[in-house]
Structure 1
Amino acid sequence: MKFRKRVATCAVLLAAALALTGCGGGDSTSAQGSGPVEIRYWLWQDNPTDTTWNELATEFNASQQKVKVTVEVIPLDQYQDKLITAAANKAGPDAARSKDWWLGQFAPKGMVADLTADVDGWAGKADVTPALWATGQLPGDKKIYMLPHQYTTLYLYYRKDYFKEAGLAAPKSQQDVLDAAAKLTNGKRFGLDVRGGAGGQDQWAAWMLAGGGDFVDAGGAVSINNDAAKKANAFYVRLATDKLTPPGSVTAAFAQVKTNFTTGTTAMMIHHPGSLADVRSALGDKVGVVPLPTVDGAPGATLGSMSGNIVLSSSAKKAAAFQWISWLDTAGPMKKISTSSGGQLPVLASVAAQAPYTEDEALKVAVKAAETAKTWPALPGTAQLAAKDWQTIEQQAFLGQLSSDAAVDQIAGILDKK
């Protein structure tokens, strides 16, 4: 009886066209009383001094009267744990920034909302680069849990002057990389860092994907230990076992990798456009950029990394939250964040078709790579692999303590962990 009375009460209120968010907790962008629906948005910032996000929130709030967003910045080293805890306790924000591979922890536990219907009804859907929708999905699942926003792709930096001196062309295949590394290594100069320390799993994954491997098959089953992947890893391990990498490379993190490249210790470096300004500042026109070399020199895949936006399932204001995150994926806001100091590549084709992405050769390579780039799968085992196990396993292979094939099998086992 109480339920019937409540339904009847809601019906009367709605019939009277009152501007309420609804009797059941509210999932509307209509005003609550006389004011807008207020939502909270969590994010981290790579550059804590960048004011772009606050400027965007101010612009959004001024652009309409239905929704008001408040942004809350949390340090990246605390962010994931805080978001998981808040979501599990239904005390989190309405929307939040997320990395693609975190979905494997969030979505299966029902922490994030299914955005498929919202995306299908959104006018901006067609402007998002088609291949990037997969970054917001779980393997084998077509539902969309994250709206793509900012991404990057990995490619190969190389010293044009070193290659010219040695009579070498820019590498196209992975065999080209090994051959160039062997020719350019002389005891003071080396081919390429394998980056066996923190973050090295991304460089390794880009190499594996370019070599024809894949994280999962079409059905979502882990396949990173298939024949193509094992061949690619064998090439990668040889860089270390053949001593074509500089001292310390087996445990190096990115700071050392970049220093080695910019000071001339290495002839090649795998990274993304985030290093472009620093590398050009140090080397000028001595540096070149090419797509990540593939197994046969033909165009192939590389690793992409997406920072997108999610709506938490515990939010009572999902429609308002989606209005905010979809506004971020419109041309003006997208151009502003992408060209900011903390920005990456735009997910919108309309923005990618503008300068600087159509004029800068290195950025053109990165944007083109998005058409075939793949991301770490949103599996529960991905977080464990990235945080710890990849380093332990692959370092053993680099040091000759574990066979290359055995290393890949162990890595696949961690990814397949339920």
Structure 2
Amino acid sequence: MSQRDRRGIRATAVAAGALAAALALTSCAAGGDGAGSGDGPVEITFQSWVPNIDRAVDAFNESHDDIHVTLETITAGPDGGYAKMFSAVQAGDPADVAQVGYDAIPEFLVNGAVEDITDYVGDSADLFTEWQWNTGVFDDRVYAVPQASGPLGQFYRKDIFDSLGLAAPTTWDEFYEAAKVIRASDPNRYIAAFAYNQAPWLIGLSQQGGGAWFTPEDDAWSVAIDDEATLKVAEYWQKLIDEDLVKLEADMSSEWNADIQNGNVLTWISGSWADAIVRGTAPDTAGSWAVSAVPQWNAGENVSATWAGGSANVVLKGSKHPEAAAEFALWLNSDPESVSTLTSIGAGWPAITDLDAVESLQDDPEVFAFYGGQNIWDVFAESDAAVASDWTWPPLSQTLFADLTDNVKAAVEQGTPLPEAYVQTQADFTAALEDKGISVAE
């Protein structure tokens, strides 16, 4: 059975039960004025949190005389943009196109907040990486156009690794051995920070280790946050913590920023977009960094994952111009020049398959120079292609993030075993789904 077939089966199952009501509401593409009505350009609004995405919006407006897009900058996440989107949909006055995370699409479906855009973009699947396209497909209907993902890579201080006679770890066993050498080299030095504050990072590590937390089964969700693969990953990091081989600190905090700058934290396993953060945080270390693939659990394998999946563009339920909105979403994320702009401003790893057409990936002198002349995009191209594509996001993903962060942080602060944090998250999130009337399989 092909990957596409497996995804189709899972999508069909998701459409049943938990998402059935939402899909019934959105089963047919909405009406409304399409592009080119003859009364001047169709006016649509686009909500996004990506800095400098106005460059791509301006390019669309310059190249289209039948649709005009107005950009509205929003705050990312459930307490910012998402809350605003849901309120506007309920009030009958939504924006036309909105940026949402792959992890949030099921929640938008459950709330009946997105339009079915199959009739407008359904024949465009071949333009996009299969796993990214399928994040917006349910019951063979299309509800989102993928924009970009955050495939994981290992950013590391190559100069310090070289001075210690170390190569970039290719397996987690090598990572552990390198951690011991690094820790012995300097009392302030660690191979990595254990970022207890970052649920997307913790989830990515579990996904890369083989975790499969959510599976739709008939009219219910099977939840396995404490599956064997995840507990293996948790036990591994617990060993690093117990042996004082990783630093317990929140990433992207002031302390972490200083450690990245002064070489006290030597690696960061993160999404492709983290390149801009490393360069911006530690500009004086230019030429000292490199990027490699995420360490593997078994030598010779090539399994990757993402930082919270990525993001897509949806047409919000009630848009007066769904056809024009879908046309813009498709152009924004598939036109080579637009995708090149999105990539260069740090929107994430492109969802399109034709990476050769993305100019900013072919020659990026500033980025390549910072990483000692390395074309780091080759690493992320391989990583995106190796993402474990059997991962399925559930409804209430933001609740999942909060539960996991709270439980892992408590384990770190109280000195209790990390595996217990995942067992507790299993119980907490299962209860949250059931509280919302979403069936959970036994």
Q: Which amino acid aligns with 2:274?
A: S
Q: Residues 323, 101 of structure 1: CA spacing in aligned structure 2 closer, same or farther, 3 A cutoff?
A: same
1:19 maps to none
1:337 maps to 342
Give how far 1:390 is off: 1.9
- Which residues of structure 2 form unaligned runs of 5+? 1-29, 364-373, 434-442
Q: Residues 202, 26 of structure 1: CA spacing in aligned structure 2 closer, same or farther, 3 A cutoff?
A: closer
SS in structure 1 of the partner of residue 141 of structure 2? coil
Percent identity of paired positions between Structure 1 and Structure 2 = 22
Give how far 1:363 is off: 1.5
Give how far 1:212 is off: 2.0
Between the aligned partners of 2:35 and 2:40, the Cα distance in structure 1 is 11
Q: Which amino acid aligns with 2:375?
A: E
Between the aligned partners of 2:207 and 2:222, the Cα distance in structure 1 is 16
SS in structure 1 of the partner of residue 142 of structure 2? coil
2:48 maps to 43
Q: Residues 237, 135 of structure 1: CA spacing in aligned structure 2 closer, same or farther, 3 A cutoff?
A: farther
Q: Residues 255, 80 of structure 1: CA spacing in aligned structure 2 closer, same or farther, 3 A cutoff?
A: farther
1:177 maps to 175
Q: Does structure 1 conserve the Cα–Cα contact (< 8 Å) formed by 2:292 and 2:379?
A: yes
Between the aligned partners of 1:222 and 1:282, the Cα distance in structure 2 is 45
Q: Residues 183, 91 of structure 1: CA spacing in aligned structure 2 closer, same or farther, 3 A cutoff?
A: same
2:423 maps to 409
Q: Which amino acid aligns with 2:153?
A: Y
Larger radius of gyration, structure 1 or 2? 1
Of 143, 146, 149, which residue of structure 2 is paired with 1:145?
A: 143
Between the aligned partners of 2:253 and 2:297, the Cα distance in structure 1 is 25
Between the aligned partners of 2:188 and 2:249, the Cα distance in structure 1 is 17
Between the aligned partners of 1:61 and 1:191, the Cα distance in structure 2 is 47
2:265 maps to 266
Q: Does structure 1 conserve the Cα–Cα contact (< 8 Å) formed by 2:152 and 2:304?
A: no
1:313 maps to 317
Q: Deviations over 1:145-185 (max 9, x none)?
A: 21111222221122223333333332111122122112211
Q: Residues 287, 59 of structure 1: CA spacing in aligned structure 2 closer, same or farther, 3 A cutoff?
A: closer
Q: Residues 65, 158 of structure 1: CA spacing in aligned structure 2 closer, same or farther, 3 A cutoff?
A: closer
Q: Does structure 2 conserve the Cα–Cα contact (< 8 Å) formed by 1:160 and 1:288?
A: yes
Q: Does structure 1 conserve the Cα–Cα contact (< 8 Å) formed by 2:107 and 2:395?
A: yes
For the pair 1:71 / 2:71, whether they are aligned, the reply is yes
Between the aligned partners of 1:142 and 1:413, the Cα distance in structure 2 is 32
2:379 maps to 365
Between the aligned partners of 1:321 and 1:121, the Cα distance in structure 2 is 16
Q: Deviations over 1:180-222 (max 9, x none)?
A: 112211422112101112xx11222222222222333475633
1:8-407 equivalent positions in 2, closer than 5 A: 26-31=32-37, 34-45=39-50, 47=51, 50=52, 52-53=53-54, 55-76=55-76, 78-122=80-124, 125-137=125-137, 141-186=139-184, 187-197=187-197, 200-217=198-215, 221-246=222-247, 249-277=248-276, 279=278, 281-297=283-299, 298-304=301-307, 305-328=309-332, 329-339=334-344, 341-352=345-356, 354-358=358-362, 360-373=374-387, 377-386=392-401, 388-399=402-413, 401-407=415-421
Q: Which amino acid aligns with 1:303?
A: T
Q: Residues 278, 401 of structure 1: CA spacing in aligned structure 2 closer, same or farther, 3 A cutoff?
A: closer
Q: Which amino acid aligns with 1:221?
A: S
Q: Does structure 2 conserve the Cα–Cα contact (< 8 Å) formed by 1:172 and 1:293?
A: yes
Q: Deviations over 1:22-55 (max 9, x none)?
A: xx96242241x5323222222223x3xx3x42x4
Give how far 1:250 is off: 4.5
Give how far 1:256 is off: 3.6
SS in structure 2 of the partner of residue 361 of structure 1? coil
SS in structure 2 of the partner of residue 134 of structure 1? helix
Q: Residues 378, 205 of structure 1: CA spacing in aligned structure 2 closer, same or farther, 3 A cutoff?
A: closer
SS in structure 1 of the partner of residue 267 of structure 2? strand
Give how far 1:278 is off: 5.4
Q: Residues 87, 206 of structure 1: CA spacing in aligned structure 2 closer, same or farther, 3 A cutoff?
A: same
Between the aligned partners of 1:145 and 1:268, the Cα distance in structure 2 is 37
Q: Residues 27, 121 of structure 1: CA spacing in aligned structure 2 closer, same or farther, 3 A cutoff?
A: farther
Q: Residues 110, 320 of structure 1: CA spacing in aligned structure 2 closer, same or farther, 3 A cutoff?
A: same
Comparing 59-68 with 288-297, greater Cα deviation is found at: 59-68
Between the aligned partners of 1:130 and 1:374, the Cα distance in structure 2 is 12
Q: Does structure 1 conserve the Cα–Cα contact (< 8 Å) formed by 2:340 and 2:358?
A: no
What is the TM-score of this pair, normalised by structure 2?
0.77
SS in structure 2 of the partner of residue 157 of structure 1? strand
